[in-house]
Chain A
Amino acid sequence: MTSVFDRLSGLQEQSRCALIPFITAGDPDLDTTAKALRVLDQAGADCIELGVPYSDPLADGPTIQAAATRALQRGVKLEDVLEIVRGTAGEISAPIILFTYYNPIYYRGIESFLKQIKDAGVKGLVVPDLPLEEAENLLKPAAELGIEVTLLVAPTSPQERIKAIAQKSQGFVYLVSVTGVTGARSQVASRVKDLIPMLREATNKPIGVGFGISEPQHAQQVKEWGADAAIVGSAFVQRLVSGTPEEGLKAIDEFCRTLKGAIA
């Protein structure tokens, strides 16, 4: 499995927009999560974000909150999530990015956490409640281990901050498209159109746009505005639990192919 940066910058060179689906680990169950990783990989996902369920997901809207709550009620633990990564990372070509809040990392100890996820085959890490000022303790040991920690830029971030974040971010720079939490929305915020060039000025690293991207035309829109990757979360999470696990897997397979087609 290649690194997140190599995968995304390779596509960037070919002027192709990448697709990064997100699913919550353990929802509806761990077995389906493992299958979903393979399905998404086959259906054209360029990287996959795997959400570790957390009790207090501050940056998440109702869809992913509910998914995390269901997974926790089933007793899903980090070790279970990593077990799935261990079992699939070798078989799929899309690098896996772990999406987790900071407290579970801190609880285990940063170094020990990083070693565990590295050993399991995780390539990248997104920690939505760890802004630049607090990220230093994580960035350094992660870089030593070769885990790419991707930082987030928000519509409210001033230009100087955007530069500093872009400089430290690894793998790609995650542009949050809205002031708000994750979740499907009817359209992409128009300010993204101005934010992408501003971010491009600050960095050559790939730019991924996420939060609120839920339709093929949204993905198409951010591609047209110059994004290197479209990140789609809640729309996948919702489809995966619609009906039986088999129906859910079929739904995300089709959705992933449709999205991919829209930005190919």
Chain B
Amino acid sequence: MTTTPIHPTATTNSQPDNLGRFGRFGGKYVPETLMPALAELETAYQKYRNDPAFQAELQGLLRDYVGRPSPLYFAERLTEKYARPDGTGPQIYLKREDLNHTGAHKINNALAQGLLAKRMGKKRIIAETGAGQHGVATATVCARFGLECIIYMGVQDMERQALNVFRMKLLGATVQPVEAGTGTLKDATSEAIRDWVTNVETTHYILGSVAGPHPYPMMVRDFHAIIGQETRRQCQEKWGGLPDILMACVGGGSNAIGLFHEFLGDTSIRIIGVEAAGTGTETSKHAATLTKGRPGVLHGAMSYLLQDTEGQVTEAHSISAGLDYPGVGPEHSYLMDTKRAEYYSVTDDEAVQAFLSLSKLEGIIPALETSHAIAYLDTLCPQLDGSPRIVINCSGRGDKDVQTVAKYLEANGGF
């Protein structure tokens, strides 16, 4: 079988620079207490990313424990939905990260960081979670490696993702409710950072997105780059070429970067990120950071940010807990500013329709996060000529969201 290297194969993109900057974005805006820990983490990462023993252990676990490679699946009936009367139209493929152990792409990063923490001698693990997928992935990895695990989660998210809270507890993790602010991902992340500032000498923080201070955006991206690397190989196997369009949902942006990174140098490929527009980007209730935000600093990085005219971070809103975040990974800000990637947004309503649609057409219940990427097909497909091949990152499965969707349908008139 082909082994897939974890380090990125795209050579055209050497971002970030030594200070962790993607253009003007990124950096390390954290209390001084954390600076040595970030340096230690960067050193450890540089040491192990090319270490054969580390790579062998990681690759073995990705294969036997996570179930990689994840399939690239041709979504026949979804393709039919968007076909023109003459039968032509976009060919839609799903990169099935939802089939990974724990049900989402998040395990790729959690597993690799767990291995790193073990080698760094850190026995206590903390993480933040929004939808609970990163929390479940981290709790899983901690169970597997015998590490103490504390997951910070906003109280509102604990309610709407109750299933994942229970899963984390089953896996032996302590779920620490965060009541501050809106009780969502932003507040959980702040609290995780405060814990790390306090316990930095014994604790590794498994940050779950391509956000936060350097080296996290780079490291988390590299640990998810396997998504794009497998996709390249699978496209070769299926049709002997490249995809024409890549699409993924963007909250912090880890699944999107995981798919995009490998292809940044292939300039023929359109790269599209889809944000959460909540009740609409013209309302105050959305999480469309790139679409509506402006540059600022949150959780240690300079990036686009939802903020008011005083520079106070504003509340985000999305039906999807995993996208409900007023910030975004710095590399996405860079990719937007340099026009290498395009970013659009879809509303809660559109995402739920896509959730229902994919369930019925393909027998795949997608996560509400993922549903945002699916939903954008409605806008995108009519604009396309010919039969371009679209690869969508099916980043997670939707079991965790059925209650949220049921509640939504109850309030909005059923199926």
Contacts and interface: CB of A to CB of B under 8 A. Distances in A.
Binding site secondary structure of chain B:
mixed
B75 interface: no
Interface in B29-49: 29-37
Interface string A96-132: 0000011111111000000000000000000011111
A158 interface: yes
Interface string A36-70: 00000000000000000011101101000100010
Contacts of B180: 65, 69
B194 A58 contact: yes
Contact of B298 (A56, A69, A158, A181): A56
A161 B35 contact: yes
A107 B314 CA distance: 13
Contacts, number: 115
Interface string A161-203: 1000100000000001011110000000000000000000000
A56 B33 CA distance: 17
B307 A103 contact: yes
Nearest to A75: B310
B16 interface: no
B186 interface: yes
A24 B296 CA distance: 23
A72 B37 contact: no
B369 to A, nearest CB: 23
A260 B288 CA distance: 51
B356 to A, nearest CB: 36
Nearest to B309: A107
A156 B31 CA distance: 11
A154 interface: yes
B3 interface: no
- On chain B, which size bracket covers the interface? 35 or more
Given A56-B190, A106-B297, A107-B296, A176 B307 contact: no
A58 B305 contact: no
Contact of B200 (A161, A165, A179): A179
Interface in B258-297: 295-297
B311 A107 contact: yes
A176 B180 CA distance: 24
B121 interface: no
A133 B27 CA distance: 9
Interface of A: 54-56, 58-59, 61, 65, 69, 72, 77-78, 101-108, 128-134, 151-158, 161, 165, 176, 178-181
Interface of B: 19, 27-37, 180-181, 186, 190, 193-194, 197-201, 295-300, 302, 305, 307, 310-314
18 contacts: A56-B190, A58-B31, A69-B181, A103-B298, A104-B310, A105-B311, A106-B296, A106-B302, A131-B35, A133-B27, A133-B35, A156-B32, A157-B32, A165-B32, A176-B32, A179-B198, A179-B200, A180-B197
